[in-house]
Chain A
Amino acid sequence: MKHEFRVRVGPAGFRIGSDWKQPIDQLAALYSDYPAPDIPDFTVRLFAQRPWRRFLRPSVMIGGDYMLPDAAPVSLAHGLLAAEMGMNLQMALGQRRYLLLHASAVERDGKALLMTGHSGAGKSTLSALLGERGWRFMGDEFVLVDLSTAVVHAFPRLVSLKNEAITLFEGAVDADRLGPLMRDTPKGDIRHLQPPTDAIAKMSEPARPALLLFPRFGHAPDVREVGEAEVFVRLTQASTNYVALGEAGFDALSSLVRTIPTRAVDYPDTENAVASVERLWMELAE
């Protein structure tokens, strides 16, 4: 294609082709510290639906090795988001080497804290925040559970900050690490954040899962135990490829659920959340 960018995030390499220069330049700036794969795992294509839509009210179609049949195009101003969505789509539909959990993760002392929950529960913001405060950021979207060794692999792509979370980081981090502010996307306002240098440098190092939290933002502080069966079902729902992996997926997930301490955590604001995460980590992570 006319413009091309390659990047490896954790174990997954991507080739992103585009009819336009802009999204590729934005990717190149934000992924500047990442390695480039010679043979990528996945191809993503950003293209104009009709030739004239390259110039006239340009709108970006998202394609690649794996595609959704009825995906709607996004405006060129949201081209970086389109690239990220395309990469996520390849992982969600095409990844079969690891059990994929829709979760965020941070690491300390070789041990991983996993956080999962519904969109808007705050798992992404919380992982990014912890990544700025002494933890190694492993990813805000997907955690890759190894099918044979039960360790988790990092997938530290750009953090996708949404709505109120954006202001938490503006001014607090180096401006070079922030992408363009994209307003009124299908998910509200979005601004991408480059993960800290150590997160990128150590992205090939796996970690042992040591604590699983189901955070929920906007509620009075509370911590609840969650039964194994519920944890299992919630994680099958949080996985995009659990069914497709068959027995290997079941084995990996059930051994994870049996060994990892788990809590549901409600929090009214992020400071409160960070404090309860640190406390639970001291109490429970082994």
Chain B
Amino acid sequence: MTDAGILTRALVDPSTTQNFDAGDWTALIAMARAEQLMGSLAHRLDGLGFLPEKVAQLCADARRFAEHARRQALWEAEMSRRVLAPLGEPVVLLKGTAYVAAGLSAGVGRSIGDLDILVSHEALDAVERALTGQGGWEWVKEDAYDDAYYRDYMHELPPLIHKERDRMIDVHHTVLPLTAKPTPDAVSMIADSVELENGLRILSPADMVCHSAAHLFADGDLAGGLRNLWDIDQLLRDFGTRDGFWKALGQRAERHQLAKPVARALRLAEALYETPLDGALARRGRVGDALYIRRLLARDDWGRETRKFLRLAFYIRSHWLRMPPLMLIRHLWTKWRKGQN
């Protein structure tokens, strides 16, 4: 049965595509698009002499897409900077916007959706007022339950969208829902962050990996997981040769109570992307790893999701991780009742 293994192999070693026929290429492109990895793939394949003309064309298109995503993300970051700079509070860029702002390999060809920023919990009210006041952002959904839910239990404000530019901003004050078991130390993440030329900040290398791993394994249902794991692979390749990086990663992972997700991220990155690792941090392989890999690669040659039951299991798991059982039941009950109206 086909799965996204041809995609991960092509990303690691583009020469694996050398003997591809038209059907293989068609499948590879459909999978890469579905996993939001077409831009990254297009950069990896750039310049290879054996690409069919159509594939070279589609790769050039994808690089154009990514260039636009990069420009738009940086502009959106700049727009938020102008509104928030007067507050004098540190504003840390997260995820895709941080990668392109810092010129990291993970940003090359990456698709970028919302703008994600991290601010301190104390600054949250002021940031919210500035964004919704002169900033021009407004609430996406006017729903009392969702709004209260975000404010009481989540690690971010309810999503805001800009009135004119139609772009979303997620304002985080920590990196995992407050109801999740691990409690990462957001204060020290902000304290350790690194300032960019324009005054915006990015997480330290070790925290960046911790955040990415938390996002992938301690929060979501692995939707978009191959892309997030590719981020981690690229971050580790950028940072892994720096002095003291692996030691810092171990320390920060412990401090943020994220040692297990980070270890999992390292093992799976190595398994799927052949990431060079410092062995001790990855810990010993666990039985569950094989299930994660099956879930991450669950995509067919039409770009469709496959392995429905496994997907459902990870979806349920994501809610389980997010909140304690009683709360989960109350949450799903409220959501279900609202769905009935």
Contacts and interface: CB of A to CB of B under 8 A. Distances in A.
B54 A41 contact: yes
Q: Is the interface of A mostly helix, strand, loop or mixed?
A: loop
B26 A96 contact: no
B68 A244 contact: yes
B202 to A, nearest CB: 25
A246 B69 CA distance: 11
A195 interface: no
A96 B65 contact: yes
Contact of B68 (A13, A17, A37, A246): A246
B290 interface: no
Contacts of B22: 38-39
A37 B25 CA distance: 12
Contacts of B64: 96, 245
A47 B54 CA distance: 27
Contact of A41 (B58, B60, B68): B58
Interface residues of B, number: 22
A39 B57 CA distance: 11
B34 A39 contact: no
Contacts of B54: 13, 37-39, 41
A286 to B, nearest CB: 32
A43 interface: yes
Contacts of A96: 61, 64-65, 68
B302 A39 contact: no
A45 B302 contact: yes
A233 B304 CA distance: 38
Interface residues of A, number: 21
Contacts of B26: 15, 39-40, 43
A1 B55 CA distance: 22
B331 interface: no
Contacts of B107: none
A39 B55 contact: yes
A146 to B, nearest CB: 14
B303 A65 contact: yes
Interface of A: 1, 13, 15, 17, 37-41, 43, 45, 47, 64-66, 95-97, 244-246
25 contacts: A15-B26, A17-B302, A37-B54, A38-B22, A39-B29, A39-B52, A41-B54, A41-B58, A43-B26, A43-B30, A43-B33, A43-B302, A45-B303, A45-B304, A65-B30, A65-B303, A66-B33, A95-B61, A96-B61, A97-B57, A97-B60, A97-B61, A244-B65, A246-B68, A246-B71
